[in-house]
Amino acid sequence: MRRWLIGLVVLLGSYLASGFFVVKGNEKAAVRRFGRVLRNDAGNVALEGSGLHYDLPWPFATVDRINLNEIRTLTIGTTDLDEAEGNMAGFLRSAAAISQSQFLTGDKNILNLQISVQHRISERNPYDFLYRSESAERHLKLLVESTVADLVSRSGVDFVHPLGLVELREMLTIRSRQLAEQYQLGVEVEEVAISAVYPPPQVKRAFLDVSDARAAKDKSVNDARAYAEQQRARVDGEARQIDDEAQMYRQRLVEEASGAADRFTKIVAQFEQQQARGIQAARTMTMRRLYIDTMDEILRKVDGKVLLDSGMSVDLTIFRDPKQ
């Protein structure tokens, strides 16, 4: 009788001791007592921190542990099928996984995409993640799949592969965050990344040809732009050279005009001085000056100059009055 009592006490003590539970340093624990979630004074889910805790043993209480700092990754679709060539995994690949990767574009082309959704449990309301739906992550996966299908169906094949990948990734991230909050999944979407985009194997060669043609087009455009820049630089250089020569020619003409004006001013000044002595003296001075300027201009244009001194007088009638 005593043995049975001792055994019963030991079993009861073991059962009650099963109410102890340990929460790791990177985890939080939510407790359901008699199926009802324990809440704090603010009405939110009461989360137990790391350490040793005690509550009623199962089935009266259930402990759900979550890691609020963990970044989780959901993967939609598969990588390029050609990567699995020669591998049995590629041969045994599930048809459902392949169909998950296929999306129809707005111009009736089929593309295979692999999407990675990085998310974490919302610290503000973990109740939604734990208890509102049977599987919040599966629900999120379906929402992202429908979002990708919607955006791809309204885009052309060139936009998805590969011209608009950055913009498409940004739109996917924004829409996924909005839907996760709208459907109260209890998760916060960090980023939706497009890991791979590839055409079906049957038309992969045609896609490669298009990509090569697009690359050749871009190269031709870049070469044409480089040639245009080169020609523009050459023309700008020639224009600057012409402008510099024009400025130099203008400066020379201005200097020559200034010199001519100065000489004329001096002649006028001398004429006014000689005029005071008489008209004949002014006339003689003027004719002498004109003769000197004329000879100076003529001798500048003569290649060789020979001056003969014959010892004879020269009749310079131009400098005196022939009547005298």
Q: Is the dihedral of CA 81, 82, 88, 89 positive or negative?
A: negative
Q: Which pLDDT score is estimated for 1?
A: 62
In a domain, 60, yes or no: yes
Give the pLDDT confidence score for residue 269 in this predicted structure. Answer: 76
pLDDT of 104-134, one tens digit each?
888 888 888 899 999 999 888 888 888 888 8
Give the pLDDT of residue 305.
57
C-beta separation of 99 from 149 below 8 A: no
Using CA atoms, how far residue 162 sits from 202, 205, 214, 288, in Å, is 19, 16, 11, 89
Please answer whether residues 68 and 123 qualify as being in contact, where contact means their C-beta atoms are separated by less than 8 angstroms.
yes
Tell me the average pLDDT across 5-23: 82
Is 235 within a domain?
Answer: no
Rounded to an integer, the average pLDDT of 22-50 is 85
| Closest to 157 in 3D by CA, of 200, 194, 106 | 106
Residue 140, pLDDT score:
92
Q: And the tokens for 318?
A: 């131009």
Same domain, 27 and 115: no
| Residue closest to 112 by CA, chosen among 206, 203, 189, 173 | 203
Boundaries of domain holding 83: 72-199
pLDDT at 175: 94
Q: Which of 179, 199, 219 marks a domain boundary?
A: 199
Most confident of 15-19, 22-26, 158-162, 184-188: 184-188
pLDDT at position 284 is 74
CA separation for the pair 178, 182 (Å, rounded): 6
pLDDT at position 159, please?
Answer: 84
Give CA–CA dist 130/45, Å, rounded: 10
- pLDDT tens per residue across span 234-289: 999 999 999 999 999 999 999 988 988 887 787 777 767 766 666 676 677 777 77
Instruction: List the structure tokens of 147.
Output: 């979002």
Same domain, 138 and 166: yes
Tallying the residues shown for the chain, one arrives at: 324
Do 147 and 90 lie in one domain? The reply is: yes
pLDDT digit string (tens) for 96-105?
556 667 888 8
Please check whether residues 118 and 182 belong to one and the same domain: yes
Is residue 1 domain-resident? no
Q: Are 260 and 292 in contact (CB under 8 A)?
A: no
Residue of 210 and 138 predicted with greater confidence: 138
Q: Residue 213 domain-assigned?
A: no
Q: Within 10 Å of residue 266's Cβ, how many Cβ atoms?
A: 11
pLDDT tens digits, residue range 170-213?
999 999 999 999 999 999 999 999 888 888 877 778 777 877 78
Of residues 212 and 66, more confidently modeled: 66
Nearest alpha carbon to residue 101 among 160, 156, 154: 160
Residue 233 in domain: no
Q: What is the CATH number of the domain that holds 194?
A: 3.30.479.30
Pair 46, 83 in one domain: no
Residues 117 and 164 in one domain: yes
Number of domain units in the chain: 3
Question: Is 208 a domain residue?
Answer: no
Same domain, 55 and 84: no
The whole model's pTM is what? 0.60
Token pair listed for 118: 């990085």
pLDDT at 119: 93
